[in-house]
Copies of this chain bind each other. A is one copy, B any other.
Amino acid sequence: MNASTTIKAPFDRDKQFAAKRRAVILSAASAFRRRGYHNTSMVDIAKTLGLTKAALYYYVRNKEEILFESHLMAYESMEEILKSPRAGKNGLEDLENVFRDFVSLLTQSGVSLLTDVDSLSEKSQGVILARRANIEKRVIRLVELGHKDGSIRRADPRLQVFFFMGALNWLNAWFDSEGRLKGDDIANHFVEQLRSGITADYRRDE
């Protein structure tokens, strides 16, 4: 087993380190989501991990880096969803699938969608906003696809996207304070409302 340890050891180390670093960020991100970045101190973060403030600096350069990585983690997950095929029979269904996965991600995986971009340095801000813009653009493309194949009503795609992306971001404010709701139920409900709104009847327009 010596052979295996000497070979696996350094690999394990890096993995352990990466895992712990990830734990730090996930835990912090969750706190940021609930209480906000500036209302969460490094001591808070350390305590919930059973560590000391100073120990955090073994895993991250500074507090801002945690915020940066938190944002990144969420966006990477969302990009992952956008990459996966899961194609329906038209643009609308594709969009529904993506949106459902977004909601499930945010209600079940522990990944947090944050909004505080202004607490980042100018540089990081640029990276994060670009990332977000990229995701938005891809979602907008899905909508435009739906326009073309006739599955989605024609209108300013940008506005259409902003409207329902708001529902995702607003989740932070109320989800899990309403513990009785299952993530999947929310996802299904939201998809339905994304598609058909709230009207009961069939008439288009006035």
* A→B interface (CB under 8 Å): 34-39, 92, 95, 115-116, 118-119, 143, 146, 150-156, 158-160, 162-171, 173-174, 178, 181, 186, 189-190, 192-202, 204
Contacts and interface: CB of A to CB of B under 8 A. Distances in A.
A37 B119 CA distance: 10
Contacts of A181: 159
B189 A119 contact: no
Contact of A38 (B38, B146, B158, B170): B38
Contacts of A163: 164, 167, 189-190, 193
The secondary-structure label for the interface of chain A is helix
Nearest to A166: B170
A199 B150 CA distance: 9
- How often does this chain occur in the complex, in copies? 2
A119 B116 CA distance: 14
A184 to B, nearest CB: 13
B170 A118 contact: no
Contacts of A36: 38, 116, 118-119
Nearest to A169: B170
Contacts of A150: 200-201
Of the candidates A36, A115, A200, the one having the most CB atoms from chain B within 10 angstroms of its own CB is A200
A198 B143 contact: yes
Contacts of A196: 153, 196-197, 199, 204
Contacts of A116: 36
Contacts of A167: 162-164, 166-167
Contact of A151 (B151, B162, B190, B200): B200
B199 A198 contact: no
A119 B92 CA distance: 40
Nearest to A36: B118
A137 to B, nearest CB: 13
A202 B35 CA distance: 42
Nearest to A202: B202
